[in-house]
Amino acid sequence: MSYARTTCFSGYCWGLDESQVIVLGAPLEETTSYRPGTRFAPRAIREASAYIEYWSLRGKLDVDEHVRFYDAGDALVEQPLEKALEAIGDAVERLSGVGKPLVVMGGEHTITLGIVEGLVRAGYKPCMVQLDAHMDMRSEYAGRRVSHATFARLVVSEVGVPVVLAGVRGFVREELEFARANHVPVIDAHRLQDESVAAVIPAVSKLIEKSVCNHLHLTLDMDVVDPGFAPGVSNPEPEGITPRILLDIVFEVARLAVLRGMSLSMDVVEVSPPYDAGGVTSVLAAKAIVEFAAGVVAARSSAR
Ligand SMILES: [Mn+2]
């Protein structure tokens, strides 16, 4: 146990039975339109995760003392795209069935469509919280109906998952109109910066109360964070949130889901290591997974 093993999240290769949180890689890179490299993100996040500290300021606890991560490795992402999404969904169906919080490291944002389909196949009724600079609700993009810029529309309209969207600032009219027509609460980036986590939790609570979901999925597009803090993403967009706000939301959403007796999962997508000056975006992605686990631990210990 003296050496970090960067092939497993956290630096330790724990077994499934002894674990409290499950991690899966999904290095899909198929519809990327601007800056490539998301296929390298799972290994970059694993490497960062082996060297950061696991103390949570929010939970006032050491995640290392409470959580052993089981790293399932990477889902096979073969061509064509449909086959890759099915493989990701199959892995999620199997791993979410274990009944422990699950984290998926992308890959491009399209993986989230495969993830929610896998959750539904596992018998869950998911609600989704999307933190993103973009809405990803176009009807098609660059000639594709299924892509990183359209996946959220399909999650809403085809999988039927209720969504709360926060941090957005880069979108087109078609997407805004779709969100409005489908009653998707939208908390834009300015409001999120002004009101922080207090803008998100009431919207998530309301979503949980008025929907029939029993599972919460948090999809975290790292481009929701300001490019000054997270430069290593495929589609950087100015005026993003700070790491403090991001981690507050991740912690509180995880805590809320557990307190409400829901199962939960998260994905962290769109990190592009070749554009990640100093590797800081991967470090923040790893830290977000640690705070997610901290939120789970905090809820469980307060429920005791
Ligand atoms: Mn996105």
Q: Is residue 84 part of a domain?
A: yes
Question: Given pLDDT bands bounded at 50, 70 and 90, which one contains residue 302?
Answer: confident
190 is known to lie in a ligand binding site: no
> What's the domain range around 90?
9-303
244 pLDDT exceeds 80?
yes
1 pLDDT exceeds 60?
no
Average pLDDT over residues 204-225: 95
Q: Is residue 262 part of a domain?
A: yes
For residue 139, which amino acid is it? S
134 is known to lie in a ligand binding site: yes
Q: Give dist(CA 170, CA 273) in Å, integer.
A: 22
Average pLDDT over residues 82-87: 98
132 is known to lie in a ligand binding site: yes
CA of 109 to the centre of ligand 1 (A): 5
Q: State how many domains the chain has.
A: 1
CA of 272 to the centre of ligand 1 (A): 13
CA of 147 to the centre of ligand 1 (A): 10
304 pLDDT exceeds 60?
no
Query: CATH number, domain at 284?
Result: 3.40.800.10
CA of 68 to the centre of ligand 1 (A): 29
Q: Is residue 3 part of a domain?
A: no
Write down the pLDDT at residue 69.
98
